[in-house]
Amino acid sequence: MFRATTLTDDLFSVAQNPSLLSPREGQPITPPEEGRPVPAWLHQWPQVPVRSHETARELLSLSFSTPSSIALSARLNPQQQDVVLAPAAPTLVLAGAGSGKTHTLIHRVAELVNQGVAPEQILLITFTRKAADEMVHRTQVLLNQSPLKIQGGTFHAMGLTLLKIYGAAIGLHNKFSIMDEDDATGLIHILASKRGFTARTGFPKKQQIASVFSRAANMLRPIPDVVATYFPWLEEHTPQLVALYRVYTDTKWQQHRLDYDDLLLLLYKLLCIHAPTRLRLAHHYQALLVDEYQDSTQLQAMIVELLASEHQNVMVVGDDAQAIFGFRGSMIDSMNGFLKSFPHAHIFRLEQNYRSTKPILNVANHILEDAKGLIPKKLFTSKEGGSQPELVTCESELAQSQFIATRILERLNQGVSLKDMAVLFRSSSHSFELEACLTKLRLHFVKYGGLQLTETAHVKDVLAYLRVADNPLDAGAWHRVLLLIDRVGARFAQRLIQSMEDHPHPLDVLEQAEGKQQRALSNLAAVIRSVQDETIPLMDRMNLVLHHYEPLLRRDYGTEAEHRMDDLKKLAELAGHNPSLEAFLQDITLDPNQSKDGSRDPKDVHLTLSTIHSAKGLEWKMVFVIWLLDGQFPPVRSWHDEPVLEEERRLFYVAVTRAKDQLTMLYPVEHYHHGAQQVLTQPCRFIRSIPRPTLTALHAAEVR
DNA sequence: TACGGGAATATTTTT
DNA sequence: TATTCCCGTA
C-alpha cells in the first residue's frame, strides 16, 4: 500500500517524516474555534476543470524501439508482449480470467523502469493492498533489484496519502481520522434522530441512508438524482435526505473525520479546484496503471483521468465479465467509460487462459453465453485433460459439509496441500455450518469476507480508546468509549463530548466532571493521556488499554470474555509492529483483513473459505462452490431485477474461474426461505443453462 | 436519564 | 435469525 516505504522523491519526503506534518506531535489537537468555517466547495460536485487530452503538455517519449530482455522473455505470449510494449498513451487491456493479467502488468512495470521511468513516478493502483504488495514484490524480483519505490496501493490508500500531504491546500487539517462503515452510519443516525427523522415516521434506516450517500459520492451525482434512480421508494424523503447529507458533511469536516468515500471525494475536489496541486501530481506520475478497472466507480475514474492529465500514460486493465461491485456504485460499464474519456486509447485483448483446464473453462464460457451487455470475447486454453466439473445434489446442508470434508481428507491423503483448496460462497453466513464441521475434524481454515475481526464489538471498543487518543475530536469514538461507563448514557455522553469540543484541553473536562461517574471518568482520562504519550512503546500503551478494558469486557461478555480477550491480545501484537499509533489506526481501518495476514506466513498451511467477492483475483487447484441453490444464489431479491441478476451471473463466473484443476459445485436440495415464504429446490439458474454432458452429477447423503 | 426487555424487521457482497 | 428500534420502568 501507500505505506511510507522508502520515498526519496521530494514529493513524498514529508510522508517519511510525519513530524513535519504535525508540529504539535503528541499533543491533542486544539478544537476548532467556534463554528469552524465550512468551505463552499464542500457542498458542490465540481466539474472536471479541463478535458485532459487538450492539456497534455508533453507526451512521454518512450519509444520501446529496443525492447529490453524483459519484454522479450519467453514467458510472455505475443498478446501479452504487445501490452508490455504498448506506447506511452492511454491503453485499455481487456484481460479475461486467468489470462496472466498480473504477470503482464508486472512485466509492463519492469519494462517502464528499464526504459528509464523513475520507479517512484509509476503509480500502480490495485483493488486490494495485498495485490499491490505482491505486484511490487514480483516486479522487484523480475528486475533483480530492491527495494523499488513504485507507488502502489488501493484508491483509498492513495487518497489518504495524498490528502495527508496536500490536503492543506483545501484547508484540510493534516491530522484526521478515518471512519469505518459503522462510524459513518452511527453519525448519520445521531444526526438524523436529532432532527426527528426516526424510522417511526417512515424515514429510512441509517444503513440505507448511508448507502444513498455513498452512491451519490461514488457516482458524483446529486442526492435527489440518486434517490430517484436507485431508491425510488424513498423519494418522499428527498428534502430531508438532502438536508441530512449537508449536516453529515459539515459535521465530518468539523470533527476532522473522513469516511471511506471522503478519501476519494476530497482528493477529487482537491485536484479539481486546486490547479497547482493537480499539475504537480499529474506531472509527477509519468505512468499510471490501474488493475481491476471494471470495478472502479465514476469518482475513481475521474481521479485517474485527472492524474493522467499531463502525460496521458495510463493503462487500465480489467474484465467486464468480472464486474461484481455494482452494489457499491461501480460503473455499469467502466471499460467503455474509459474509451469515452480517452477516445484514442489503444485496445488490447488477453484471451488465452492459463489457469483452468478445458472442462472448467467450458463451464465458464457457458455461463457467459446468455450474459447481457458484455464485450464479446472467447477464452481458450491449451491446458488439456482434467476431470469434469461436478454438480453435487446434497440431501441437506450437513450432507454438503460432510461431502466436502470427506473429499478434502481424501485429497490430503493423495498429497494435495490444504493451501491448494478453497470453498467459495455467495454470502458470508453460508459457511457457518461448514466451519463447525471443519473445526470438529481439526482441519485448519481461514475465512475471508464477511464480518472481520476488527468489526466485532470488543475490538471496536478497544480501537475507540486509541482513536480518541489520536484524535480527541472524534465524537464517534468518544461516544463509544463513554457509553462503556456505568451510568453514562447517550444524553450524558453527548453533553460531555460537546463540552470537550469547546475546551482547549478536552481531557480536562473528564477530570473536572462531577457526580457518580467522576472516578470512572478521571480514570478514563488518565488512560487516554498515557496512550497519547509517544515516549511509551505502542505495545505497552496497548496493554494499558487492555488492562483498563478487561473488567468491562468481563461485565459485558461473561463466559465469552476469555475468548474475546485472546482476540484483543492478537490486536495488541499487531499494533506492536507499527511505528506509531496513527499509522496503526490508519492501517487497520483501511485494511481490516490484515489481521489475518499474520496467519499468511508460509509455514501456516490452511484451507481457504471465502466469499466470492473476496476471492477476486485468486486461484486454487481445487475449488468448491457451495449453496448453489436458486434463491440463495442468485438471491431471491435478484430474480426480478435484470441488472442485479446479471451481476449475480458474473459473480458465478468469477467463482468458477478461480478453479485450476477441479471444480465441485454443491447445493442442498431443499431449503425453506423465510423472505420468499417458499421452499427452494432448484439448483442455481446459471447452472441449469449448462448442457448436461458438461457436468458430472453426484448425490450426497448425510452420514451419521 | 439509563437500561433492559420485547417487538418488529430485513436478511449480501467491500474499501 | 440476528439486529435494530421502541417503550416502560427504575
pLDDT exceeding 90 applies to what percent of chain A?
28
Nucleotide with the nearest C1' to A203 CA: C5
Q: Residue A2 CB: number of other CB atoms within 10 A?
A: 24
* Closest protein CA to C1' of nucleotide B11, residue: A675
Q: Distance in angstroms, CA of A190 to C1' of C7? A: 19
A600: pLDDT strictly greater than 60: no
Name which of A654, A665, A666, A663 is nearest A622 in CA terms: A663
A570: pLDDT strictly greater than 70: yes
Burial class (CB in 10 A: 0-12, 13-18, 19+), A523: middle
Nucleotides on strand B lying under 7 Å from protein C-beta: 1-3, 10-15
Let me know how long chain A is.
704
pLDDT attached to residue A10: 33
pLDDT attached to residue A661: 94
Does residue A136 sit in helix, strand or coil? helix
Q: Distance in angstroms, CA of A481 to C1' of B4? A: 20
Nucleotide with the nearest C1' to A636 CA: B11
In this structure, what C-alpha cell is assigned to residue A168?
Answer: 492543506
Nucleotide with the nearest C1' to A206 CA: C4
Contact A421, A411 (CB under 8 A): yes
Nucleotide with the nearest C1' to A130 CA: B15
In this structure, what C-alpha cell is assigned to residue A473?
Answer: 475530536
Q: Distance in angstroms, CA of A493 to C1' of C8? A: 22
Contact A447, A227 (CB under 8 A): no
Task: Spell A289-309 as b/e; 16+ CB within 10 A means b.
Answer: bbbbbbbbbbbbbbbbbbbbb
Tens of pLDDT, residues A320-365: 999 999 888 888 788 989 998 899 899 999 999 999 999 999 999 9
- Which residues 6+ apart lie within 8 Å of A592 measured at CB? A180, A452, A453, A454, A455
A639: pLDDT strictly greater than 80: yes
Nucleotide with the nearest C1' to A156 CA: B15
Nucleotide with the nearest C1' to A457 CA: C3
* Closest protein CA to C1' of nucleotide C1, residue: A674
pLDDT attached to residue A58: 42
Q: Residue A168 CB: number of other CB atoms within 10 A?
A: 14
Nucleotide with the nearest C1' to A610 CA: B13
pLDDT exceeding 70 applies to what percent of chain A?
87
Nucleotides on strand C lying under 7 Å from protein C-beta: 1, 4-7
- Pairing label, strands A287-290, A314-318: parallel
Contact A301, A276 (CB under 8 A): no
Dist CA A595 CA A428 (whole Å): 18
- Which residues 6+ apart lie within 8 Å of A75 measured at CB? A103
Tens of pLDDT, residues A368-415: 988 888 888 888 998 888 889 999 999 888 889 999 999 999 999 999
Name which of A61, A43, A77, A702 is nearest A350 in CA terms: A77
Q: Distance in angstroms, CA of A53 to C1' of C4? A: 50
Does residue A663 sit in helix, strand or coil? strand
* Closest protein CA to C1' of nucleotide C6, residue: A200
pLDDT attached to residue A598: 47
Tens of pLDDT, residues A611-632: 999 898 899 999 999 999 888 8
Q: Which residues touch strand C (CB under 7 A)?
A: A 189, 198-200, 205-206, 674
- Could you say which DSSP state residue A36 is in? P
Name which of A696, A692, A617 is nearest A657 in CA terms: A617
Orientation of helix A538-557 relative to helix A561-576, angle to 10°: 160
Q: Distance in angstroms, CA of A200 to C1' of C10? A: 26
Alpha-carbon distances, residue A547 vs A40, A238, A272, A472, A520 (angstroms):
45, 47, 47, 21, 14
Q: Distance in angstroms, CA of A179 to C1' of C9? A: 36
Q: Distance in angstroms, CA of A194 to C1' of C8? A: 22
Q: Distance in angstroms, CA of A206 to C1' of B10? A: 13
pTM of the model: 0.84
| pLDDT, greater one: A169 or A601 | A169
Tens of pLDDT, residues A434-451: 888 888 888 888 888 766
Q: Distance in angstroms, CA of A294 to C1' of C8? A: 52
Nucleotide with the nearest C1' to A205 CA: C4
Tens of pLDDT, residues A310-323: 889 999 999 999 99
Nucleotide with the nearest C1' to A611 CA: B13
- Pairing label, strands A421-425, A678-680: unpaired
Does residue A689 sit in helix, strand or coil? coil
Contact A85, A115 (CB under 8 A): no
Q: What is the mean pLDDT of chain A?
A: 82
A468: pLDDT strictly greater than 50: yes
Task: Spell A483-509 as b/e; 16+ CB within 10 A means b.
Answer: ebbeebeeebbbebbeebbebeebbeb
Q: Distance in angstroms, CA of A522 to C1' of B12? A: 43
pLDDT attached to residue A365: 92
Name which of A594, A615, A640, A628 is nearest A422 in CA terms: A615
Nucleotide with the nearest C1' to A199 CA: C5
- Mean per-residue pLDDT, A510-526: 83
Name which of A473, A449, A452, A465 is nearest A572 in CA terms: A465
pLDDT attached to residue A642: 85
Q: Which residues touch strand B (CB under 7 A)?
A: A 127-128, 154-157, 181, 205, 207-208, 260, 324-325, 327-328, 426-429, 448-450, 483, 486-493, 495, 590-593, 611, 613-614, 635, 637, 674-675
With bands split at pLDDT 50, 70 and 90, how would you rate the model's confidence at A146? low
Q: Distance in angstroms, CA of A703 to C1' of B15? A: 42
Tens of pLDDT, residues A199-253: 666 678 888 888 889 999 999 988 888 888 888 888 888 888 888 898 899 989 9
Does residue A123 sit in helix, strand or coil? strand
Q: Distance in angstroms, CA of A523 to C1' of C10? A: 27
Nucleotide with the nearest C1' to A651 CA: B13
pLDDT attached to residue A5: 33
- Pairing label, strands A620-625, A659-668: parallel
Q: Distance in angstroms, CA of A450 to C1' of B7? A: 27
DSSP string covering A485-536: STT--HHHHHHHHHHHHTSSSHHHHHHH--STTHHHHHHHHHHHHHHH-TTS
3-state SS of A603-634 is: CCCCEEEEECHHHCCCCEEEEEECCCECEECC
- Which residues 6+ apart lie within 8 Å of A590 measured at CB? A1, A129, A154, A156, A157, A160, A178
With bands split at pLDDT 50, 70 and 90, how would you rate the model's confidence at A677? low
In this structure, what C-alpha cell is assigned to residue A591?
Answer: 485494511
With bands split at pLDDT 50, 70 and 90, how would you rate the model's confidence at A56? very low
Highest mean pLDDT among A177-181, A303-307, A507-511, A547-551: A303-307
Identify the H or E element spanning A259.
strand A257-259
* Closest protein CA to C1' of nucleotide B3, residue: A489
Does residue A657 sit in helix, strand or coil? coil
In degrees, rounded to 5, the angle at the alpha carbon of residue A94 between the alpha carbons of residues A77 and A386 is 60
- Mean per-residue pLDDT, A461-468: 88
Q: Distance in angstroms, CA of A494 to C1' of B6? A: 27
pLDDT attached to residue A7: 29
Tens of pLDDT, residues A59-76: 444 555 566 666 566 688
Tens of pLDDT, residues A485-506: 888 887 888 888 888 888 888 8
Dist CA A643 CA A550 (whole Å): 48
Determine the residue type at A44.
Answer: Q
Q: Distance in angstroms, CA of A675 to C1' of B10? A: 8
Tell me which of A105-109, A163-167, A454-458, A664-668 is least confident: A454-458
β-bridge mates for residue A318, sequence order: A94
Dist CA A424 CA A162 (whole Å): 36
Determine the residue type at A138.
Answer: R
- Mean per-residue pLDDT, A650-657: 95
Residue with cell 493522467: A308
Instruction: Sort residue A564 into left (φ over 0), alpha (ψ -120 to 50) or beta.
Output: alpha
